[in-house]
Amino acid sequence: MDTSLKTETTARLAIADSNEAAQQNLEHRTGTSIEAIKQAFLENLFFVQGKPVALATKHDYYMALAHLVRDRMLYRWNGTAESYTQDRCRTVCYLSAEFLMGPHLGNNLINMGIYDQVKAAMEELGLDFEDLLAQEVEPGLGNGGLGRLAACYLDSMASLEVPSLGYGIRYEFGIFEQGISQGWQIERTDKWLRHGNPWEVARPEWATEVMFGGHTESYTDAAGDYRVRWVPSQEVLGTPYDTPILGYQVDTANTLRLWKAEAIESFDFEVFNQGDYYGAVEEKVSSENLTKVLYPNDETLAGKRLRLKQQFFFVSCSLQDMFRILKGQTIPVEEFHEKFSIQLNDTHPAIASAELMRLLVDEYHLDWNIAWEITQQAMAYTNHTLLPEALEKWPISLFGSLLPRHLEIIYEINTRFLELVRMRFPKDSARLERMSLIDESGERYVRMANLACVSSHTINGVAKLHSELLKQTVLKDFYELFPEKFCNMTNGVTPRRWIALSNPRLTKMVTEKIGEGWLKELEKTKQLESLATDSGFQDEWHEMKSAAKRELAGRIHQQFGVLVDPTSMFDVQVKRIHEYKRQHLNALHIVTLYSQLKQNPQMEILPRTFIFGGKAAPGYHMAKLMIKLITSVGEMANKDPDLRNQLRVIFLPNYNVTNSQRVYPASDLSEQISTAGKEASGTGNMKFAMNGALTIGTLDGANVEIRDAVGAENFFLFGLTADEVAKMKFEGYTPRDYYLGNPYLKDAIDLIASGHFSHGDGSLFQPLLDKLLYQDPFMLLADYQAYVDCQRTVSKAYQDQRRWLEMSILNASRMGYFSSDRSVQEYCQRIWKVSPAPVDIDRYIKVSGRFGGELSCKLH
């Protein structure tokens, strides 16, 4: 440093230290006292929103608040980036086509530990804090469990100080907004970006180019080696948008990096000058279409060209970004797998292995075998479903036309792989056919799950049962070849969002009893067990639940004009609508109760409020008909005086993260009633139990482990097991026999078929009933009686309020295992081999200066 610069620096530092105004200036951006927050809020309203108070809308208030919160995250965010760069930390790259983050504001306040100050500051300014939080339009960049799991894992990785990057797609339109019109689902576009997104920062300087189409050519390089290059027909620019992911009560703030597609040249002057005005922006329009919209499918494959383009686009951007990071940290490409551990969240990003091979072999000129070693050591694959219709495969013609080089690479991987299979299992051509990366049974396809299995060092399922079934069914051949690759990672959910943010009453109660710290170590809630029979604590617990139920009842009344009794049992099923999840089994039970009450108006039953919520994929007609059935039963039941208010059926529209946070705390009974063997894990089941709801459920997914954890006596189990389901199907299942043999079931089905719930239209629900009577792939009729009996047991249990409260407390206090912190720790040890790298912000500020060196030295 020359002397003049040194003098200048010293002078600047001196000024900064002594200058009161400068100090205050920083206080406005980082201070967390109530005064500082109020001041920053008013300033943001003026300087960021550009509004005088008189003209400010609620949304302006939200933006002013969001910006002041973001300011307060920036030391941590920049400090984390700098610390990871300096220490060249091993990093988890979580590749996921979906991140269902939910609203950021409240979560950031919780994790930063300034929730109470901010609430107080807003209230002192005369603003309704809840109302402010409610202004945030959540980024619905996912369909359901898979996307939400990715979000919970980001929260846990940051909270555990694990260096990580979430990589995904910045969809302009997320999951559609669901409305209900005359009982049917209607879909509206989700314009979540319309009013701007205060949580993201665009990084156009790190944009990458992605190629599509064209052909490949071979050539000989200067060293005389045979090489292949890809000559694409289209190139698109990917711009990263970064969102900070703050850990809970730590200085770590990791990054979620979502890619937006843009045209490389957004305006073609030549074309414009020829008078073709539309043509001049055509490339822009077609490139941007790539990240326009999230495919609203859950569990089923879309099979569309655009979908494959989206997958390749975000994977290619992300891998190139990793190479940029390597370069920045002067790490040789041969050490790629030591720097990065890549997790493939389902098969959506599975093309990553072919793209990494292309980059290593074609661009970095590594030997194939070395490149393959690196690829395999870098990748791990999580499977999220056993449903065969969800296994992604792409027609060869489509694949080859979009990704000609990748198809060649996949053929090469396949040739070598099948050689290995042939050696291990000689003369087993059926096995070769099943394991091939190419399905050749009819039209030829690329099988993405096979590609993921072959290219990954570890393959995991998401609950014990699911991981076992994977080995026995869909991935059996791969298990027999690579048993050491397989493991189980039972899902978890973050207690910060699903308890602290969703249920402040419960949070306060628990902290009063067992002190701080349990939100970081959820196992600590075990200490509440001893209070489960304490009548004082039970009373408090009861009041906590009742208050949440009154709140939800208030919303329901406001929204639909339906009065529900908060003292009735809230029996809740919220999740995507799908036949395997069996919302229609729940509906059959309601119809049974309804019918009994109609036939015997004197009958006393336990008053229940049945609450449903969930979206149906727009092209999934049966799921849409299931919604119509529920709303139709509700329409009849809610107004019928014969029922004497003993039954209410509510369908909450637009189930999303925001709405779900209001539902879990208010639930008494959690419906987890999928056909055994079909639900990979479920994570809603965990959120309910953490909030003190009891589960009625089958032995499916994580229900099995939840039941083990909370105790069989605190769980309402019913139904066939996965083995029994398989056996029954194998032996031949005739659902009609159950219908004919069970008068209650027959009565319920006949009542629906009669048109009673559909204004006399007997044909409306016929497709649904026919499917049950003649196919019933999800065994509703076989499980019906067991379910109805179990519901009777539930009603009886609820009437003994003391016993119910004890069970509820025990459920909540035994859920420690299901924190996503535990899951992420297991991933770190078993799969990622990544250790925490704590960030110390005070040290960082001392060493690098308040602005990471920028004010204390001259910029380059």
With CA atoms as reference, report the closest residue to 630 among 596, 669, 587: 587
* Integer Cα distance of 570 and 552 in angstroms: 10
Judged by CB, which is closer to ligand NBG: 144, or 719? 144
- Minimum distance from residue 154 beta carbon to ligand NBG (Å): 14
Judged by CB, which is closer to ligand NBG: 80, or 156? 156
Q: Does 614 bind ligand NBG (CB under 6 A)?
A: no
- Minimum distance from residue 461 beta carbon to ligand NBG (Å): 9
Helix (H) or strand (E) holding 307: helix 305-328
* Integer Cα distance of 457 and 236 in angstroms: 31
Judged by CB, which is closer to ligand NBG: 106, or 168? 168
**How many angstroms separate the Cα of 507 from the Cα of each of 212, 423, 667?**
51, 58, 16
256 burial (CB, 10 Å; 0-12 / 13-18 / 19+) is buried
Owner of token pair 């945030």? 136
- Minimum distance from residue 715 beta carbon to ligand NBG (Å): 18
831 burial (CB, 10 Å; 0-12 / 13-18 / 19+) is buried
Interface pick for ligand NBG out of 680, 710, 752, 805 (rule CB under 6 A): 680
Which of 70, 76, 339, 575 does the annotation list as catalytic? 575
- Minimum distance from residue 660 beta carbon to ligand NBG (Å): 14
At residue 445, the 3 state secondary structure works out as strand
Judged by CB, which is closer to ligand NBG: 146, or 611? 146
Q: Which stretch binds ligand NBG (CB under 6 A): 118-126, 151-159, 678-686, 704-712?
A: 678-686
Using CB atoms, what's the residue nearest to ligand NBG? 145
Judged by CB, which is closer to ligand NBG: 287, or 450? 450
Which of 348, 384, 485, 582 does the annotation list as catalytic? 384
Whether 581 sits among the annotated catalytic residues: the reply is yes
State which amino acid sits at residue 848: S
Q: Does 252 bind ligand NBG (CB under 6 A)?
A: no
Judged by CB, which is closer to ligand NBG: 153, or 651? 153
- Minimum distance from residue 542 beta carbon to ligand NBG (Å): 30
* Site map (CB under 6 A) of ligand NBG, residues 144-163, x = contact: xxx--x--------------
Angle subtended at Cα 683 by Cα 140 and Cα 345, rounded to the nearest 5 degrees = 65
- Minimum distance from residue 580 beta carbon to ligand NBG (Å): 9
With CA atoms as reference, report the closest residue to 771 among 618, 575, 626, 576: 626
Interface pick for ligand NBG out of 668, 679, 705, 776 (rule CB under 6 A): 679
DSSP, residue by residue, 590-624: HHHHHHHHHH-TT-----EEEEEE----TT-HHHH
Q: Does 198 bind ligand NBG (CB under 6 A)?
A: no
326 burial (CB, 10 Å; 0-12 / 13-18 / 19+) is middle
With CA atoms as reference, report the closest residue to 108 among 155, 142, 147: 155
- Minimum distance from residue 611 beta carbon to ligand NBG (Å): 20
Which of 576, 578, 628, 771 does the annotation list as catalytic? 576
At residue 664, the 3 state secondary structure works out as helix
Rg (CA), the chain: 29
Whether 576 sits among the annotated catalytic residues: the reply is yes
* Integer Cα distance of 635 and 562 in angstroms: 10
Judged by CB, which is closer to ligand NBG: 146, or 352? 146
Q: Which stretch binds ligand NBG (CB under 6 A): 515-523, 679-687, 770-778, 814-822?
A: 679-687
Judged by CB, which is closer to ligand NBG: 298, or 477? 298
* Integer Cα distance of 365 and 694 in angstroms: 58
Q: Does 474 bind ligand NBG (CB under 6 A)?
A: no
**Strand 201-202 and strand 234-246: pairing?**
antiparallel
Which of 490, 525, 592, 683 does the annotation list as catalytic? 683
Q: Does 310 bind ligand NBG (CB under 6 A)?
A: no
Judged by CB, which is closer to ligand NBG: 65, or 489? 489
* Site map (CB under 6 A) of ligand NBG, residues 692-711, x = contact: ---------x----------
Q: Tell me, what DSSP letter sits at residue 493?
A: B
Interface pick for ligand NBG out of 44, 164, 291, 681 (rule CB under 6 A): 681
Judged by CB, which is closer to ligand NBG: 66, or 390? 390
Judged by CB, which is closer to ligand NBG: 149, or 812? 149
Q: Does 579 bind ligand NBG (CB under 6 A)?
A: no
Which residues within the stretch 351-390 sit at the binding site for ligand NBG (CB under 6 A)?
A: 384-385, 390
Judged by CB, which is closer to ligand NBG: 135, or 661? 661
Interface pick for ligand NBG out of 63, 342, 462, 794 (rule CB under 6 A): 462
* Integer Cα distance of 115 and 128 in angstroms: 14
Whether 608 sits among the annotated catalytic residues: the reply is no
Judged by CB, which is closer to ligand NBG: 31, or 684? 684
Q: Which stretch binds ligand NBG (CB under 6 A): 605-613, 674-682, 805-813, 845-853?
A: 674-682
- Minimum distance from residue 446 beta carbon to ligand NBG (Å): 19
- Minimum distance from residue 345 beta carbon to ligand NBG (Å): 9
DSSP, residue by residue, 236-296: EEEEEEEEEEEPTTSS-EEEEEEEEEEESSS--HHHHHTT-TTHHHHHHHHHHGGGTB---
* Integer Cα distance of 598 and 592 in angstroms: 10
- Minimum distance from residue 839 beta carbon to ligand NBG (Å): 29
Contact 806, 814 (CB under 8 A): no
* Site map (CB under 6 A) of ligand NBG, residues 388-427, x = contact: --x-------------------------------------
* Integer Cα distance of 278 and 60 in angstroms: 36
Whether 292 sits among the annotated catalytic residues: the reply is no
**Strand 669-672 and strand 569-574: pairing?**
parallel
Interface pick for ligand NBG out of 682, 719, 735, 816 (rule CB under 6 A): 682
Which residues within the stretch 486-515 sit at the binding site for ligand NBG (CB under 6 A)?
A: 491
**Six-digit token pair at 741?**
């043999």
Helix (H) or strand (E) holding 538: helix 535-560
- Minimum distance from residue 684 beta carbon to ligand NBG (Å): 8
DSSP, residue by residue, 149-215: HHHHHHHHHHHTT--EEEEEE--SB-SPEEEEETTEEEEE---TTTT--TT-EE-GGG-EEEEESSE
- Minimum distance from residue 386 beta carbon to ligand NBG (Å): 9
* Integer Cα distance of 560 and 329 in angstroms: 57
At residue 806, the 3 state secondary structure works out as helix
Which residues within the stretch 315-354 sit at the binding site for ligand NBG (CB under 6 A)?
A: 346
Owner of token pair 């700098």? 82
Which of 337, 615, 687, 756 does the annotation list as catalytic? 687
Which of 581, 628, 814, 822 does the annotation list as catalytic? 581
Q: Does 108 bind ligand NBG (CB under 6 A)?
A: no
Q: Which stretch binds ligand NBG (CB under 6 A): 450-458, 610-618, 676-684, 803-811?
A: 676-684
CA dihedral (72, 73, 76, 78) in degrees, to 10, reads -100
Angle between helices 105-112 and 145-159 (to 10 degrees): 20
Contact 460, 382 (CB under 8 A): yes
Name, in order, each residue with C-beta under 8 angstroms of 172's C-beta and a sequence gap of 6 or more: 193, 260, 288, 291, 292, 293
- Minimum distance from residue 299 beta carbon to ligand NBG (Å): 5
Which residues within the stretch 118-147 sit at the binding site for ligand NBG (CB under 6 A)?
A: 144-146
Interface pick for ligand NBG out of 299, 355, 571, 579 (rule CB under 6 A): 299
Chain positions contacting ligand NBG, by CB under 6 A: 144-146, 149, 298-299, 346, 384-385, 390, 462, 491, 679-683, 701
Catalytic residues, which ones? 384, 575-576, 581, 683, 687
